[in-house]
């Protein structure tokens, strides 16, 4: 069988990670609109952090699924498009791993515990105000980069699907997509 779509586990993880990114970004953006001291700010921060930590777990599972089940063959495209696609995918993995890790690091560097569904995570670093600011800046830079990278990812998929008439969207959907 010549598989033309990603394995169902990869598809499910792809869309769960996307949903969690939307939740993480939406909650942190909305948190900025809520006045300081309001209890809702803490709730939004907690949701943001849990979504990010879940992204980290699911991206690790996604990488394992990729190793176990492989990926369908690449669609034919010009070398520049292939290089851009690989670059965007690589950077998406960097931020899917880097955002949660940097969030954990800057929280711990600020002397706060990182809690994951009621469990306090072990400390990676101790309180360190000297690195907290730069790590937070990196976290925010990657958070802003996500908008650009996801936009590029979606634009590329839509370009291939509708301008080039390649069935690329079917590759990341559940259902009968194999030949």
Q: What is the pLDDT of residues 65-108, one digit of tens each?
A: 999 999 999 888 899 999 999 999 999 999 999 999 999 999 99
Strand partners, 66: none
Residue 151: partners with Cβ closer than 8 Å, 6 or more residues away: none
| Rg (alpha carbons) of the chain, rounded to whole number | 19
Distance CA 115, CA 154 (A): 32
pLDDT value for 67: 96
pLDDT value for 4: 86
pLDDT value for 155: 96
> Candidates 1.10.287, 1.20.950, 2.30.30, 1.20.120; correct CATH number of 8-172?
1.20.950
Low-confidence ranges of the chain (pLDDT < 50): 1, 177-179
Q: Is the dihedral of CA 94, 99, 100, 103 positive or negative?
A: positive
Distance CA 64, CA 161 (A): 27
pLDDT value for 178: 46
pLDDT value for 10: 96
pLDDT value for 3: 78
pLDDT value for 26: 97
> Exposed, middle or buried by CB within 10 Å (0-12, 13-18, 19+), for 26?
middle
pLDDT value for 1: 41
């Amino acid at each position: 069988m010549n598989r033309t779509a990603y394995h169902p586990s990869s598809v499910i993880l792809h869309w769960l990670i996307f949903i969690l990114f939307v939740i993480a970004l939406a909650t942190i953006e909305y948190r900025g609109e809520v006045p300081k001291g309001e209890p809702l700010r803490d709730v939004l921060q907690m949701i943001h952090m849990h979504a990010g930590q879940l992204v980290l777990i699911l991206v690790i599972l996604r990488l394992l699924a990729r190793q176990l089940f492989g990926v369908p063959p690449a669609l034919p495209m010009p070398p520049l498009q292939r290089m851009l696609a690989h670059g965007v995918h690589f950077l998406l993995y960097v931020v899917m791993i880097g955002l949660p890790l940097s969030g954990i690091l800057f929280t711990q560097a600020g002397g706060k515990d990182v809690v994951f569904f009621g469990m306090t995570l072990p400390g990676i670093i101790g309180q360190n105000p000297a690195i907290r600011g730069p790590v937070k800046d990196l976290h925010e830079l990657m958070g802003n980069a996500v908008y650009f990278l996801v936009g590029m990812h979606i634009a590329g998929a839509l370009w291939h699907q509708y301008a080039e008439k390649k069935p690329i969207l079917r590759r990341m959907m559940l259902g009968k997509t194999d030949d």
